[in-house]
Structure 1
């Protein structure tokens, strides 16, 4: 059991999924976000409000940590200045504080949007070149390269998890390939923490879907073995799904809707507006 784990982004949707499982893996869990507080703390969990753009604040919460699970950031496309402070400067402060405090490993919530403009007809592995679809995706590229740099030059290990569509259940045709269940998210983070050595590693954050569009074999040493499969939801989803357009990047690129969202504009808002109008 680890002595101390730090979780950033604890007030977010996926951070909330991870809090209890992480608390069971360590003697002390420190969770942090920009929110004033989070509810239902575990007995060994302490919440510390912090702004990731401030190195001083991140240094305070990182003191004594064995590992950092970094989920704190804007989780959507946003204007450049917002992405710069939260997702890019915030990544630097996490890795720099980890280095200064001799933290062993950063487990990072990267995203498919770092490579979102690759065609879905390309069955890509973890060596595929960066091809971001948004400023949000570009920030994920930066953080992955930062992780590589801090491993090569400073010996800080990292596991960069390129998360696809993490929901309780898949809700559209794209998700039949891209779905990551909450259970498999926990299994992936657990594997990233418990693997004896990782160096700098990239792993696709997807479940064991029949239609999975990426190859995770190069990260098999992590021991991440997803157990859920979106195919069980296929009859319901395909009965309601409209035909896909082979000329539309949204249907044909790994990044899905983010392949067409204008730079700096919310992809989540665009998706919600379509749902309301349908």
Structure 2
């Protein structure tokens, strides 16, 4: 592959992707609104750019085969704060991809696009959008944008509905939702090297015994996760105590994001859950 563009390259997940992506192409263009890292890979260049500004981000996509779009605010915020990076930024990526003939966009979507769906509903990749926050609404917008750009303009998309991507599972909810960094890298790799994807949604989740979602309809991508949050079950249950069966933070796919007021941090609520407090 000639060129891959990675947005959000300074984030936790973007940082984990830079090395693997650099091995998949002749040229890796990494970008973020923050300054670049101290060291770059031999075939990597870094550009400071605001994805909410078309004239800053669009030129970076020229000559690219694929865009791995992980750039966004990764928490619930007031709508006005999310509008630029999460809504307009998504439009800018797909529109620039179309104008420059980019083959595919690999997008970091989120479980929060369906966050108010019941945990025990067996949600597959065709379940209707059911966002839990403005943040989740932005993911719905981008997924619909990707579907439209495939059907109207032929730009392929793989939307990765990431659940809980951390080095280790942090709470009892994560026994089902955890995505290890190793599996995250495999997921992105399969989204890139699959020959034909059209428009595809897949859940970003590890091989958890208690996974609440079903990826069967995206099996053609070849994603076969290897890590399992069950290895942490004993210690997480000991820390959590007895769960409340009426707690929407446990009974909805979005976890604590399903219970926070619109515009207020869901990440802070997840931290409370991890500390054994009510979100």
- The TM-score, its normalising length taken from structure 2, stands at 0.97
Alignment partner, residue 118 of structure 1: 117
Q: CA RMSD in A?
A: 1.2
Alignment partner, residue 207 of structure 1: 206
Alignment partner, residue 98 of structure 1: 97
Deviation per residue, 1:54-88 (Å, 9 max, x gap): 11111111111000000000000011111111100
Alignment partner, residue 216 of structure 2: 217
Which runs of structure 2 are paired with 1:1-278 in the superposition (5 Å)? 2-272=1-271
Q: Which moved more, 1:185-194 or 1:228-237?
A: 228-237
Alignment check: 8 A CA contact 2:170 2:274 kept: no
Alignment check: 8 A CA contact 2:119 2:212 kept: yes
**C-alpha displacement at 1:43, in angstroms?**
0.8
**C-alpha displacement at 1:242, in angstroms?**
2.3
Distance 2:194 2:130 in 1: 28
Alignment check: 8 A CA contact 1:10 1:38 kept: no
Q: Secondary structure at the match of 1:26?
A: coil
Distance 1:117-1:99 versus aligned 2 partners, 3 A rule: same
Distance 1:3-1:185 versus aligned 2 partners, 3 A rule: same
Task: In structure 1, list runs of 5 or more residues that go unmatched.
Answer: none
Distance 2:86 2:162 in 1: 15
**C-alpha displacement at 1:175, in angstroms?**
0.5
User: Which runs of 4 or more aligned residues in structure 1 lie more than 3 Å from their structure 2 counterparts after TM superposition?
Assistant: 270-278
Alignment check: 8 A CA contact 2:114 2:129 kept: yes
Distance 1:242-1:64 versus aligned 2 partners, 3 A rule: same
Alignment check: 8 A CA contact 1:70 1:109 kept: yes
Q: Secondary structure at the match of 2:119?
A: coil
**C-alpha displacement at 1:275, in angstroms?**
5.9
Alignment check: 8 A CA contact 2:163 2:205 kept: yes
Distance 1:175 1:233 in 2: 10
Distance 2:217 2:101 in 1: 27
Distance 1:266 1:250 in 2: 14
